[in-house]
Amino acid sequence: MIKPIGSDELQPRFVYDTVEHEKLSKEAESLPSVVISSQAAANAVMMGGGYFNPLKGYMNVADAMGAAEKMTLTDGSFFPVPVLCLLENTDAIGDAKRIALRDPNVDGNPVIAVMDVDAVEEVTDAQMKTMTDKVYRTDDMEHPGVQAFNTQGQIAVSGPIQVLNFSYFQSEFPDTFRTAVEIRNEIAEHGWNKVVAFQTRNPMHLAHEELCHMAMERLGCDGLVIHMLLGKLKEGDIPAAVRDAAIRKMVEVYFPENSAMVTGYGYDMLYAGPREGVLHAYFRQNMGATHFIIGRDHAGVGDYYGDFDAQTIFDDEVPEGAMEIEMFMADHTAWSKKLDKVVMMREVDDHTKDDFVLLSGTKVREMLGNGEAPPKEFSRPEVAKILIEYYQSL
């Protein structure tokens, strides 16, 4: 199986030893504590599950700036985005060297991790702007990722963490949430050697399904990991539980047995386009995938990024040899009326726009809300049924 990034074996920050876990949980209740941001909590979940291997904790400002500016930390290691714990103030923790971090997304704010504090630093306005510009390629506060990053505070608390739970992800999505450790184990149990991963924050329509089939066939893959984001999204995105039901139905009906896994991970969407595409590839290698599908406008939002910026970044900006995982670069896929099947649009140069079945997101939502299934060339009827029920419940 492909090695994780930066080590021979995954080094998850979750405390798996039950005795140590109980001991740490008791200690945490007596430590100075602070409720962290949703983004910081998601970072803890990703470190806990091994996705951010080999990170041991939150970055200091120098490492965060290195990640933002050149995807390289001060020790020379590769990481594509800053992983910070930003606070508005440190009143609750003072100058303590060991603190408890509390979850903002669960009632009662339980302790999600214990941190050994290495540094408490103020992030300047100029540093926040640099990180924002480099990661998001915009400082527009209308961008949901820019807004989330810039409203946490500007005091960075850094140091190694020990993770005690996976926030609400394990309890709300018990059949779907998986750590990188668990996905590696499941890949091994399936006996897969060549594995392609597909990222989604949306339900999968026919074009997405066929893109996965194309990738598996062309790469000669044994298996597919459909890996959906379970964390916070922007307003208007379909809730994870609905996506999960729709995707599971699609796999059940249209994929051969033992060929696809439906899983999810606990992270808030950054909507950072190309830089988030690199991050997605990073943690897919850590979970054991050998290949990763990068599609048109991957992880984008609005008109902030070019259609293929998330593909060209791998050649233009990612340090050579940073990752072993290989990219499957995909174009927009759609049903061809001429060929009576789903195709990649760049591969059929004798087609015009009118030769494809293309529906806007607005049109699809309108149809579903009216109880009308999109055409079979766009969406599987079993998937449409689940989405119609959701939209009509709003």
Which sequence positions are flagged as catalytic? 201-202
Question: For residue 51, which of 297, 289, 295, 326 has the smallest C-alpha distance?
Answer: 289
Q: Tokens 């690199």 map to which residue?
A: 278
Do 21 and 85 touch, CB atoms closer than 8 A?
no
Question: For residue 37, which of 94, 84, 93, 92 has the smallest C-alpha distance?
Answer: 84
Do 318 and 222 touch, CB atoms closer than 8 A?
no
Distances (CA, A) of 155 to 83, 84, 128, 250: 13, 10, 11, 45
Sign of CA dihedral 384, 295, 266, 283: positive
Q: What 8-state DSSP symbol labels residue 354?
A: G
CA distance 39 to 231: 9
Question: Judging by DSSP bridges, how do beta strands 291-294 and 326-329 pair with one another?
Answer: parallel
Distances (CA, A) of 54 to 58, 101, 169, 243: 12, 20, 22, 30
Look at phi and psi of residue 89 and say left if phi exceeds 0, alpha if psi is from -120 to 50, else beta. beta
Question: Judging by DSSP bridges, how do beta strands 326-329 and 341-344 pair with one another?
Answer: unpaired
CA distance 252 to 137: 39
CA distance 112 to 93: 16
Sign of CA dihedral 115, 121, 125, 126: negative
- The amino acid at residue 281 is A
Do 291 and 215 touch, CB atoms closer than 8 A?
yes
Both tokens assigned to 133: 């510009």
Both tokens assigned to 300: 């984008």
